[in-house]
Amino acid sequence: CGSLAQPNDPPSRESIDYTDPVPNWAEFWAKERLGFQLSQCRSEALVQKMGSELMGKLDELFDPKVVGVITPSLLHGDLWSGNHAVCSTGVPCIYDPAAYYGHSEADFGIARMFGGLSSEFYDAYYQVIPRQAGSEERALLYELHHHLNHMNMFGGMYKGGAVELRRNSAW
């Protein structure tokens, strides 16, 4: 997302050993999203402490007994209110994607970071893909990824948002 190229293939781009792929979304997200962002800000002691604590709770947040099997969905990757509209014909459209396959809830992170989407959007979405237990906590987790990504791209002004998310979450 943005100028910070993130690994999108299990295993990471640095490791072309395809005999050891990341077997599921939770492990991919831990290693290639949260883990990667944390690796880019090693000098931030508070963020590192928070990240280390959070890594130990990911199994609980992605527990298959709660979430079920996470089937990859095609994601926009940068879905927020500035990247969607309704065309003059009344057809909804999205633009400026950073598309990848992942958990269907993952797009909600960037949307939340920049004010969320309309209740009509969420109502329609959950008619197609029903809300899963724990989705609110995972949305905060996905939002945290974007705060860290923006902190790594644009600087410390996004650190406060990341720390605040951690303080206000159950994780």
The verdict on whether 78 is a catalytic residue reads: yes
Determine the 3-state secondary structure of 93 from DSSP.
Answer: strand
Taking each helix axis from N to C end, the angle separating 45-55 and 135-154, rounded to the nearest 10 degrees, works out to 150
Among residues 63, 78, 107, 123, the one annotated as catalytic is 78
Write the DSSP string, 33-63: IIHHHHHTTTT-HHHHHHHHHHHTTHHHHT-
Distance CA 104, CA 88 (A): 28
Chain Cα centroid distance, residue 156: 19
The tokens describing 153, both together, are 């791209």
Show which residues are catalytic. Answer: 78
